[in-house]
A and B are shown apart, each in its own frame.
Chain A
Amino acid sequence: MNDIAPHQRFTDLAADVLAKAKASGATEADVVIADGESLSVQVRLGMVDRLSKAREKRLGLRVFVGKQSACTSTSDFSIDSLSQLVVQTCALAKAVIEDPMSGLPEAAMMAGDPPDLDLFDSTKLDTDRQIELAKRAEEAAMSADERITNSEGADFDSSAGRVVLGNSHGFIGAYRSSSYSLSVSPIASDPATGAMQRDAWYAVQRKFSKLDTPESVGVEAARRTLRRLGARKVGTTRVPVVFDQEMAGSLLGNLCSALSGYSLYKGASFLSGQLGQTIAPEYVTVYDDGRMVGGLGSRPFDGEGLATKKNTIIDRGVLKNYLLDSYSGRKLGLSSTGNASRSVGESPSAGPTNFYMTPGMHNAQEIIGTVKDGLYVTELIGFGINMVTGDYSRGAGGYWIENGELAYPVEEITIAGNLKQMLRDIELVGSDLVFRGRIASPTLKLAEMMVAGS
């Protein structure tokens, strides 16, 4: 395949579309162009199962006609089609109501010279190499233990892309990024009952050289799968709950949704009106950092062209910042935090970049050791979270803790509580923060939750 289209071509295209929008009656406009290519391979039981290759490109246009606005997108970059798109977008904008808060951020606020955040790796893996890496990972899992009897496969994906953003303030910015990921999903069977369990492990990085070895991913996937064998239900009870890093990360993900400016100004978040309030114990500190070098959520500017930065979200228990773009900021009487997230063709929304809780003093073993009778959660399923009220009730699996030790695996239970209370109930923060995605957390212990089982 050819290389990604040259940078200059898209920069020119963005300028051209913006000029057309002005000519069609737009008072302000911005354009996002994204393109990329990807290669995914999946092997299963040592054979290629699936191979997929793609190149794609997309252009998104947002126009403002006074205080009216609309967004459109297309994959057809022909001149005729783009001219038509501009006209349609302006017509669409004129059909909706005026929104006094709408508009681009102020011209003076646009990001300056973007730093190099080291988000791009030019390493190109050929198909055979990716197949080999996936095979090695699956083989490591399959040979780890004879109770590993089947596999949902191992995937190796690589992708590289570019984002160009331009607006009618004269801002134009571009960056490239890449990602490499490897995952394995082995299945273990209980020799006594034949009951199956599946789990998975993965690695993802912007740089190929930083990716964990296929063998280590496979071995960890096998370990996680095997420990689920023989799982049973437990009785309904109220106990302390320890979230492993992955599940603690999912709690932080829920926190992100509640911090989004869009949920907040609609009154659709349990954190509405809590800025400046103490919402967690003083040993809880959370950051969102868009400028972490090589970070999976890093970018030099946000979806509106504003500089990203490191924001303190919770400072020793006190809620210091929401996640805002300029629109939701205006609605709340606050400034953008540089968290505009933008998929091509949608109007911006607000979301995290690299969002994490700072580590504490205790390792996971020590935290588990403080629990006499309780649950170690390694799996959550379902969508039982009400962002308006914070009510939380999800399917769970993991280990039962007895006298500070992991005793036996459990499944088919639920854990329930309220996110507002769960934040306050954080009792211990682990020392084991590792970035495996855009949202990361150390192990967390919550004082108490309701566990429903048999």
Chain B
Amino acid sequence: MSELISLDTFKVTETEVRGALERVKVHDVDYADLYFESCITESVSMEESLVKRATRSISQGVGVRATAGEKTGFAYSDELTKQDLEIAADTARYIAKSPAGNVTVPVPVHAKPKRDLYPVPQGQIDISTTDRVELLNAIDVEARRYDRRIKNVMASFNTEYKIVLVATSEGTMIGDVQPLSRLQVTCIAEENGNRQVGSFGGGGRLGFAFYREGDRYLNYAREAARAAILNLSAVEAPAGVMPVVLGGGWPGILLHEAIGHGLEADFNRKKTSAFSNLLGTRVASDVCTIVDDGTLPGRRGSLNMDDEGTPTSRTVLIDKGILRGYITDKLNARLMGIPVTGNGRRESYQSIVLPRMTNTFMLAGDSNPEDIIRSVDKGLYAVSFGGGQVDITNGKFVFSASEAYLIEGGKITKPVKGATLIGSGPEILTKVSMVGHDLKLDEGIGTCGKEGQSVPVGVGLPTIRIDEITVGGTQQT
């Protein structure tokens, strides 16, 4: 089971924590919390067959927050003395009009999360640099062995070991240990002056052993090399509206961009999202059911508790095409009068809590993936993507394919390069006509950006058919 995180980890006392909370929680303040964080990150990287870079960083600090109505006051410090806590508390309280000292905060009940989704011992994250170096060296050899047109291999292995503790004015004090690791491989292939790139990677709230299981790290190397070689023969992407089949797993980024961001509660409370006021209405075809689930063991987007100490959950966003739920943190749930879903997340003690996704995916349907491809006469089959982005106000989103093929006469034919898909969030899922039975989650490399904060997330998708979407390429069709 997960550990009980002691205040000693941060060299503060319960009296100091309670003192700071009482200083913030004045009459007009609805809620206050302190978020203590200690984080060690390590990274080694390889290029030109040399593991020549290694970095390690240690950070520790506290974020103090108060909310009053719609207002949020926030301050952080990398010093954890009584005086620093008090200065931060006074700043956070600035949003409230009432003077200090007339509200008592309950004695915190010190708890640990009720489950352990990532039981990774520290030793499995804090492995020796020599082991990391050996892993990357083997990747280099494997990728170059795959094809002699592979001219450069870049790989990096990153780990993070984060300990957090949240103390709230509601009288809870709860901590979590959050390990995270990621292995990423990029290959450059060259043939007759044509240079192409391919990438692959994976990770999660996992220890080092994961990458060695079944030689998974070598498979990453082969996949990155395969993608680079494939792109050597890729033709220019078509431009225009056409049916598109998305493969399972990472193409779930479509859901993250097209739907997920638009359903974050802050945008809906402020009515700045294209999905505002659409709750209970049809926004997708009835073959689409989409959830956000922070409770999957070991996944990159999973958490025992969110950064406000709320247990994460599985939230149904769209049920058979009908919009059913929002993703919430405490502030927005309170202001909107809807349930807290455990999606209050922050990049670090230096950032403010925002409603954020965890792992967002579509449930499996009953179509056969081969039938889905066969159903398309002329279109695109996309299996891997780079990044995506959305303008939540007008709902327009884009995402860029890194591995895609033409479908001609119901068959996958040539690989294409440089295809970008663009669509409208509230419309796109109404054009999904077939959903495969092959739900796949991504490999664990996703990072989501919002208001300058990055957090790890997961996505997933079965094979789906979108009847029409605009494909941006250079080739007129």
Contact = CB atoms under 8 A, between A and B. Distances in A.
Are A and B associated in one complex?
yes
Interface of A: 1, 44, 47-58, 69-76, 81, 85, 88-89, 91-93, 95-97, 99, 102, 127, 150, 152, 187, 195-198, 228, 231, 233, 236, 238, 266-268, 272, 345-347, 381-384, 386, 388-389, 391-395, 397, 411-418, 450-454
Contact of B474 (A57, A383, A388, A393): A393
Interface string B46-88: 0110111111111111000000001111111110000000010
B396 A381 contact: yes
B34 interface: no
A contacts with B: majority SS: strand
A347 B53 contact: yes
B423 interface: yes
Interface stretch (B161-169, B190-198, B306-314, B355-363): B190-198
A348 B390 CA distance: 32
A152 B273 CA distance: 10
Contacts of B48: 266
13 contacts: A47-B71, A70-B54, A72-B58, A127-B94, A187-B393, A195-B394, A381-B398, A382-B388, A389-B418, A393-B420, A415-B472, A451-B239, A452-B472
B53 A196 contact: no
Contacts of A93: 54
B31 interface: no
A347 B79 CA distance: 25
B129 interface: yes
A268 B197 contact: yes
Contacts of A70: 53-56
A50 B398 contact: no
Given A73-B56, A414-B239, 18 more contacts: A55-B78, A56-B76, A71-B56, A91-B129, A99-B52, A150-B270, A381-B396, A381-B398, A383-B388, A386-B197, A388-B195, A388-B197, A393-B237, A412-B424, A416-B474, A417-B474, A450-B473, A454-B241
B332 to A, nearest CB: 12
Among A196, A345, A388, A393: residue with most chain B CB under 10 A: A393
Contact of A267 (B190, B387, B388): B190
Contacts of A197: 393-394
Contact of B272 (A53, A187, A394, A414): A187
A197 B422 CA distance: 17
B340 interface: no
B contacts with A: majority SS: strand
Interface residues of B, number: 78
A376 B52 CA distance: 45
B133 interface: yes
B472 A394 contact: yes
A347 B396 contact: no
Given A49-B71, A413-B470, A389 B417 contact: yes
A60 to B, nearest CB: 8
B55 A72 contact: yes
B111 to A, nearest CB: 28
B44 interface: yes
B265 interface: no
B386 A416 contact: no
B151 interface: yes
Contact of B473 (A89, A152, A228, A452): A452
A99 B50 contact: yes
Contacts of A81: 58
